[in-house]
Structure 1
Amino acid sequence: MSSDESRPLLGEIQPQPDERSLQSENYLSQVQNQGLYLATFASVLGPLSFGFVLGYSSPAIPSLKQSSRPELRLDDSQASWFGSVVTLGAAAGGILGGFLVERTGRKLTLMLCAVPFVFGFTVILSAQNAWMLYLGRVLTGVASGITSLVVPIYISEIAHSGVRGMLGSCVQLMVVIGILGAYTAGLVLEWRWLAVLCSIPPCLLLGSMAFMPETPRFLLLRQKREHEAVAALRFLRGPLVEHQRECLELQAHAGEQEALSLAEFKNPSIYKPFCIGVSMMFFQQVSGINAIMFYAETIFEEAKFKSSGAASVIVGSIQVFFTAVAALLIDKTGRKVLLVLSGLIMAASAAIFGMYFKMTPPIPNNSSQVLFLNSQLSLAVTEGHSLAWLAVLSLGLFIAGE
């Protein structure tokens, strides 16, 4: 192909929208996704490890509260720190991940984050006092923060438009599968053996990512390694497509990667999506879902459920099911529709949940608000309150909407 024929790809005379759409369809029709799915599976072992970190404290705290060793026996305050200190590590990990991902690359950063995962759980299982437990949680939190930043970038840069939404949804799906895995394993494993189990996914992450390619975008735009980028695309797209064509398109859009200045935030096309994205993440975090995930078994114990562990598994199962449904629908219904539907379900279920407890008599309790509400729910269920099903349904809907 001559240079004149390839010039439209570089942008002086761009194809018309219909022509670009036809070119994209022809390109995607020749793509073979086996390598892409393999690389995605290897990368989402990171979110799976993250899920095990989030879910670990729920079954571990009741065991630690009843430990035969006084130096490891946690009181309520220490148990609260054990569950929540992981978020401090995650905050630090997010900052560290932002530094590493642009300098060492997406692939190497993912491999490196396996180290604090494994080391953190090793510190926990060899702990001699509460401070070692805290340290282990902080280290796994650092790894979780790095993972939550790097994996979505890696997947978005290796995936093509036809499956990018579905593969991106796998990140959250693997997180909730990890949470469910920790809850389920906690039914039969003591906290030390559970820590051993939780260290297996990051080991698999380290081994499998060693055989996966770096993202073509990083190789082209950061490292200027065109031959390696073409080889990565051959692995990710199969041998039938024009790999050079996609490389040219990535180079043509290199200008989009320029850093933003503060002055540019005056532009509505910049600050509006920025504010929307930050607001969505903020309100998702303050909805209270993480508190339920960290302390699920403790909450159900305080609520006097007969089997708090089984109740936690049910909560995790609901999350996994509806996250999988969202992953299958996201490319068909669009992101906005699912976000609006999720918000409406959460708002309605929270309102119904509050109305139910407004109608039930208060019960004196010195526990936190979440434990207090769950205690009332348990009492209503055991005493056969006529509207008890409403509280159970609203709680299930809230988790489904989240």
Structure 2
Amino acid sequence: MSLSREDCEDGNNLKKPFLYTGSWYKMGSKQSNILNSSTQYVIRDSSVSVLFCVLIVALGPLQFGFTCGYTSPTQESIISDLKLSLSEFSLFGSLSNVGAMVGAIASGQMAEYIGRKGSLMIAAIPNIIGWLAISFAKDSAFLFLGRFLEGFGVGIISYVVPVYIAEISPQNMRGTLGSVNQLSITIGILLAYLLGLFVNWRVLAVLGTLPCLILIPGLFFIPESPRWLAKMRMTEEFEASLQVLRGFNTDISLEVHEIKSSVESVGRGVTIQFADLKMKKYWFPLMVGIGLLVLQQLSGTNGVLFYSSTIFLNAGVSSSNVATVGVGIIQVIVTGITTWLVDKSGRRILLIISSSIMTLSLFLVSTAFYLEGITEKDSSLYSFLGILSVVGLVTMVIGYSLGTGPIPWLIMSEILPMNIKGLAGSIATLTSWLTSWIITMTANLLLTWSSGGTFLMYTVVAAFTVVFAAIWVPETKGRTLEEIQLYFK
């Protein structure tokens, strides 16, 4: 669809989107005034109920983060208590990624057939069982089983939560609320780091059940996604859900009409095949969604954090655990800032700034490691290079948390069309977890081969992410999900 600027300002085309230099062009002044006044009313009336829903489902990504952070403070004690080899513990850590890949395959279709709430309910159960299996493990078998079950639940959560938040949020709050997903992950990681300093690994595993134990009853107090209900032709439930989310004193007729118009061509029993994804209106948003999730992983964040203890040690930091907690605190703070910024500055510009910071910081770490390899260890220059690598690491974490961490999942949940969201969402989530597993498994080998060369490869990926965001990623700030789909059509 091609629209001129005049078309967008014409009263007959006020609801149509227009992409201008990579951003959505503003609509006509008359329609903008109507939307602005309506939007302000929606914020006052719906923010409390929507925020409550987001806080409930955010327990899922909190569980996600706790799973990611669990292995860091427990490695030595688990190896000692269960007499594991280092390779067995590495297998234990990687099984969460394997389980997540299996969960990702099921996540999209599960969310389509039993709903967003039902999927989260199912995801919570293997998480609880998995943590208990780890807590009571007497050998590696129960340990591995528990880790796999955790990963399976996390694979479902990683797709369903951002989609649910995107589908219930007003367009002017969707970025902020969607970023809560990544903020919860970072808080979960930090909690695992902190609690791991004070309790043993079995108690820490029991504490890991708490987010899902609270999530299950909490799901009974929040409405199902109105867009999913509309797609399933459950009209009364759809309107009731939207009314609860927007407030009982809010006129929802315009939004009801817009959502119904968007899904009226999608039948309840419609099955989307892989061949259908070749259509441009499908493959382009899928390419953007998958591309961002893959680049997020290939930028080597997991590899950098995996090597953080060595970086701190080279810089003369005696307690790597305390330093790791410090990195976790930085992630939470910067991700919190992103949550506030994303609906003000926009997704695309934050991605570009974030990736640019990561490019410079990764190049700094790469250079520091390369020079360390040709410098005398007892020299003052070697000590300075160690400090320089820490500065690069911290700056890289700041850059990642500013956009590359939270925004890909947010954009994926916004741009996938409703009728392919199940299949496309599963593909995108599976690809993300597969890439994460590859990076985690190869990081140690690559860093042993050449630390400077490894970080230089990560630098190239971060630089390409800048180009990818500038050329292909559309700005979705302030647009309804239906307006975003009009653009891709």
Where on the TM-score scale, by shorter chain, does this alignment land: which range? Answer: 0.7 to 0.9
From 345, 349, 353, the equivalent of 1:337 is 349
For 1:37-64, what per-residue CA distance to the aligned partner results, in whole angstroms no more than 9, with x for missing partners? 0001101110001100111111111211
From 245, 259, 262, the equivalent of 2:275 is 262
Give me the whole-angstrom Cα distance separating, in 2, the residues matched to 1:178 and 1:307.
21
Alignment partner, residue 252 of structure 1: 261
From 321, 325, 334, the equivalent of 1:322 is 334
Structure 2 residue 367 is the aligned partner of structure 1 residue 355: yes
Alignment partner, residue 389 of structure 1: 387
Give me the whole-angstrom Cα distance separating, in 1, the residues matched to 2:195 and 2:89.
20
Deviates more, 1:140-149 or 1:300-309: 300-309
Residues 58, 296 of structure 1: 8 Å contact kept: no
Q: 1:114 to 1:276 in 2, by over 3 A?
A: same
Larger Rg: 1
Give me the whole-angstrom Cα distance separating, in 2, the residues matched to 1:51 and 1:301.
25
Residues 100, 155 of structure 2: 8 Å contact kept: yes
Give me the whole-angstrom Cα distance separating, in 1, the residues matched to 2:261 and 2:378.
63
Residues 315, 390 of structure 2: 8 Å contact kept: no
Structure 2 residue 261 is the aligned partner of structure 1 residue 234: no
Give me the whole-angstrom Cα distance separating, in 2, the residues matched to 1:153 and 1:21.
27
Alignment partner, residue 72 of structure 2: 58
**RMSD between aligned alpha carbons?**
2.7
Letter in 1 for 2:278: F
Alignment partner, residue 49 of structure 2: 35
Q: 1:249 to 1:273 in 2, by over 3 A?
A: closer
Give me the whole-angstrom Cα distance separating, in 1, the residues matched to 2:227 and 2:173.
17
For 1:218-271, what per-residue CA distance to the aligned partner results, in whole angstroms no more than 9, with x for missing partners? 11211x22222222122211122112332221101115757476366353x544
Offset at 1:84?
1.3
Q: 1:275 to 1:150 in 2, by over 3 A?
A: same
1:197-208 pair list within 5 angstroms: 197-208=207-218
Letter in 1 for 2:337: V
1:367-386 pair list within 5 angstroms: 385-386=383-384
Offset at 1:109?
1.0
Alignment partner, residue 35 of structure 2: 24
From 121, 125, 131, the equivalent of 1:115 is 125
Offset at 1:296?
6.1
Alignment partner, residue 10 of structure 1: none
Letter in 2 for 1:210: F
Runs of 5+ unmatched residues, structure 1: 1-12, 364-375
Question: Counterpart of 2:383 in 1: which secondary structure?
Answer: coil
From 319, 323, 327, the equivalent of 1:311 is 323
Give me the whole-angstrom Cα distance separating, in 2, the residues matched to 1:108 and 1:381.
60
Runs of 5+ unmatched residues, structure 2: 1-11, 16-26, 401-489
Q: 1:253 to 1:246 in 2, by over 3 A?
A: same
Give me the whole-angstrom Cα distance separating, in 1, the residues matched to 2:285 and 2:360.
26
Give me the whole-angstrom Cα distance separating, in 2, the residues matched to 1:138 and 1:302.
34
For 1:137-167, what per-residue CA distance to the aligned partner results, in whole angstroms no more than 9, with x for missing partners? 1000000000001001110111010100111
Q: Give the TM-score normalised by the residue count of structure 1.
A: 0.85
Offset at 1:281?
1.2
Offset at 1:311?
1.5
Give me the whole-angstrom Cα distance separating, in 2, the residues matched to 1:278 and 1:120.
29
Q: 1:28 to 1:159 in 2, by over 3 A?
A: same
Alignment partner, residue 147 of structure 1: 157
Give me the whole-angstrom Cα distance separating, in 2, the residues matched to 1:219 and 1:125.
39
Deviates more, 1:381-390 or 1:193-202: 381-390
From 195, 207, 232, the equivalent of 1:185 is 195
Alignment partner, residue 44 of structure 1: 58
Give me the whole-angstrom Cα distance separating, in 2, the residues matched to 1:89 and 1:263.
28
Letter in 1 for 2:347: R
Give me the whole-angstrom Cα distance separating, in 2, the residues matched to 1:357 and 1:195.
36
Give me the whole-angstrom Cα distance separating, in 1, the residues matched to 2:90 and 2:335.
27
Give me the whole-angstrom Cα distance separating, in 1, the residues matched to 2:58 and 2:175.
14
Q: 1:197 to 1:289 in 2, by over 3 A?
A: same
Question: Counterpart of 2:384 in 1: which secondary structure?
Answer: coil
Q: Give the TM-score normalised by the residue count of structure 2.
A: 0.70
**How many residue pairs are counted as aligned between the two chains?**
370
Offset at 1:327?
1.4
Q: 1:170 to 1:382 in 2, by over 3 A?
A: farther
Q: 1:263 to 1:201 in 2, by over 3 A?
A: closer
Residues 312, 390 of structure 2: 8 Å contact kept: no
Residues 52, 178 of structure 1: 8 Å contact kept: yes
Give me the whole-angstrom Cα distance separating, in 1, the residues matched to 2:352 and 2:277.
29
Give me the whole-angstrom Cα distance separating, in 1, the residues matched to 2:378 and 2:337.
31
Identity %: 35
Question: Counterpart of 1:282 in 2: which secondary structure?
Answer: helix
Residues 51, 179 of structure 1: 8 Å contact kept: yes
Q: 1:264 to 1:234 in 2, by over 3 A?
A: closer
